[in-house]
Structure formats: C-alpha cells, structure tokens
Amino acid sequence: MTMLLLAIDLPEVGDIKSNKQLLSAFSNQLPILGIFLSTFVLLAVYWLKHTVTTRLMKGADTVYMWLDLLMLAFVALLPFSNGLATAFPDYFVAIAAYSINVIIIGLLSFSAWKHVSFNNRLLKNPVDPLDNKEISEGLWMEPLLAFISLILGYVAIEYAQVPYTLVPIAFWLQTKWAEKRNSAR
C-alpha cells in the first residue's frame, strides 16, 4: 500500500516562493490524492473481505492457492495501474488499465470463494446459503464499480473515478445489512 504514495509528487523547494504557490502546487495534487485514497480504500476492502473468507476456511487446495496467488499478482499490479491513472488521469487507456486490474482482482476473488464454498469443499463449517449468497454478491461490488468506471472513462473521462468513491459506502452498507440480518436470527 505504501508504494501507492510514490505517485504523489512534492513540489521542488526552490520553486515555491509563497503560501499561495504552495497551495496551488498542493491543489494540483488533489486528483492524485483522490486516486491514491480510492485505491487505498479499495485495497483495504479487498483485505477485509479476504480475511473474512479465509477465516471460514479449514484449509486450502492447489486450485485455491493458484487463484489466490493470481489475485495477489494483480493486487501487486495496483500500484502500477494506480500510478498510470495518476500520471494520465485524462487518458482512457490509463483509466482502463486501472479498472481492468480491479475487475480481474474481483473476478479472481469471486472465483476463489466459489471454489472454496462449492459443496462446502474447503469450509470449516457449512455456510448458510443466504450467507454464501451475500458473500458472493459482496465480492462483485468492486468489479461492478470498476466496470462502471470503465464506461464512464470512455464516455466522460472526468467522472471515471467517481464510482470508486462509492466503495466505502457500499462496503459499510453491506456490513450493516449483514449485521442486521445476523442479529435477527
């Protein structure tokens, strides 16, 4: 996650002669900070979801490990695609690279969960079908928002990052919904 910070540039000390210039230089970094924050939150949500699903597992088989390793490979690519989107926020190819990266992570995460939960194959205990459905649907949130970002990037590039601002809200709503449903049992 700290590698994401490499995309943020500090102004040269000699270039800044006043508070106004420093504020101007800082304001030029706001879109980059926005992309950094959305990527940071996205990674945090992936980490939280991965933690929840692995706690339900009794072990892993070769297929799961390969799916997980592939997912981690694309997570490791996020600083690159984040840097690309940060350096070229007005170019569709940069936004597409970032969005496709997020979509692939989500697809691999979903596939890993489906592999684990199929006939309770790798689960410690059987998971309630409603919980399984909820987890599966929750794993589609980020790829869906990335797909919307991809479409927005093609149609109106200036709005391409907006769907990612919904990630923490959607995650919070999913969490609250699950808590409410579990307390009603």
How far is residue 104's CA from residue 167's CA, in Å, rounded to a whole number?
16
Confidence at residue 21, expressed as pLDDT on a 0 to 100 scale: 84
What angle (nearest 5°) sits at the alpha carbon of residue 134, between those of residues 109 and 72? 15
Confidence at residue 161, expressed as pLDDT on a 0 to 100 scale: 86
Which among 155, 150, 44, 147 is positioned nearest to 94, based on CA atoms? 150
Which residues in the chain come in under a pLDDT of 50? none
> How far is the CA of 19 from the CAs of 13, 32, 148, in angstroms?
12, 20, 39
Confidence at residue 77, expressed as pLDDT on a 0 to 100 scale: 92
Task: State the first-to-last Cα distance of the chain, in angstroms, to the nearest integer.
Answer: 37
Per-residue tokens: 79: 């600083």
